[in-house]
Amino acid sequence: MRVFVTGATGFIGSAVVKELIHAGHEVVGLARSDKGAAALHAIGAEALRGSLGDHDRLRSGAAEADGVIHLAFDNTFMDVAGAITDDLHAIEAIGDTLAGSGKPFVMTSVTTMVTSLGRPATEDDQGQDGSPGLSRSTAENMAIALAERNVRSSAVRLAPCVHDTISQGFATLLAEIARQKGVSAYVGDGANHWPALHRLDAAKLYRLALESAPAGSRLHGAGEEAIPFRNIAEAIGQHLNLPVSSISPEAAEDHFGWLTPFVIMDNPTSNAWTRKRLIWEPAEPTLVADILGQ
């Protein structure tokens, strides 16, 4: 397939591009800089210059492809509302272009929109009020609805820590806080759970979704389904040679700031349906192994 990939220059996108090329697909990646375009050429992809706001570029990239994978997102956390709006408009532009084509469209969502159910979330569960990632559910629902317009759309809900030994998503943010505060903390008994996903397992999941996800499916990008938060805090403390300590819920906001709702969420995430339906077998190292650099 000729695949148009947004976010192709990013941490996850660059792994997805390599995975696609390795599997025999052609890739055209969205690049908003010369550096990004050069990086894409270096790994055997073409580059389409433009940003998420260039909807004509998104439309032409989608029109000329056999399928689209959408990973671009402003992950700086400087303007989350703006990033969400840009995402919605980009999905609209790509979706309108693909409507009626039957082509695959794989978009990026988050597991953190379904938390604190008292059981592992399944792919059938929709965004829950009070969940810290709920703001991304509108984009997910918009993409899923494209199935009714003959787009083979799917949403990959990524765990908060997509990781390798260099970067670990939200766990990297936790490590920065631990360095600043001189302690790696967890709240209460730290028994709440986070899922996690290795970057290379993520890349395989996106390729498999492109190739065979059913129209309108939600997929769980969770290689590990439920890691006790305390284990993550302990690994960070061990790696940074810092003490590890429990803090009270009242002290959490002062310690973790805007990350607090994520730190205290319980986000166990079943991957059973996704693994079975796509024949996906996550096989890469665990989050704790990558934090420890093992």
Q: Which residues bind ligand NAP (CB under 6 A)?
A: 7-13, 30, 32-33, 36, 51-52, 71-75, 86, 108, 110, 158, 160-162, 169
CB nearer to ligand NAP: give 185 or 202. 202
CB nearer to ligand NAP: give 152 or 199. 199
CB nearer to ligand NAP: give 110 or 242. 110
HSE toward the beta carbon, residue 27, CA cutoff 13 A: 32
CB nearer to ligand NAP: give 173 or 244. 173
Q: Which residues pair with 26 in a beta bridge?
A: 2
- Are 3 and 20 spatial neighbours (Cβ–Cβ below 8 Å)? yes
Q: Tokens 């509108």 identify what position?
A: 138
- Are 187 and 248 spatial neighbours (Cβ–Cβ below 8 Å)? yes
CB nearer to ligand NAP: give 223 or 247. 223
Q: What is the largest CA-CA distance in the chain?
A: 57
Q: What single string gives the DSSP state of each residue in 259-284? A: GHHHHH----B--HHHHHHHT----S
For residue 220 the two structure tokens come to 């769980």
φ, ψ for residue 97 (rounded to 5)?
Answer: -70, -40
- Are 267 and 225 spatial neighbours (Cβ–Cβ below 8 Å)? no
φ, ψ for residue 65 (rounded to 5)?
Answer: -110, 165
Least distance to ligand NAP, CB of residue 116, Å: 18
CB nearer to ligand NAP: give 30 or 278. 30
Least distance to ligand NAP, CB of residue 195, Å: 10
Least distance to ligand NAP, CB of residue 250, Å: 28
Q: Tokens 């810290």 identify what position?
A: 132
Residue among 180, 162, 151 at smallest CA distance from 222: 162
Q: 104-110 and 67-70: which strand pairing?
A: parallel
CB nearer to ligand NAP: give 10 or 268. 10
CB nearer to ligand NAP: give 183 or 289. 289
Least distance to ligand NAP, CB of residue 139, Å: 9
HSE toward the beta carbon, residue 222, CA cutoff 13 A: 30
* Virtual torsion, Cα 41, 163, 222, 209, nearest 10 deg: 0
CA 36 to chain CA centroid, nearest Å? 20
Least distance to ligand NAP, CB of residue 150, Å: 25
Least distance to ligand NAP, CB of residue 6, Å: 6
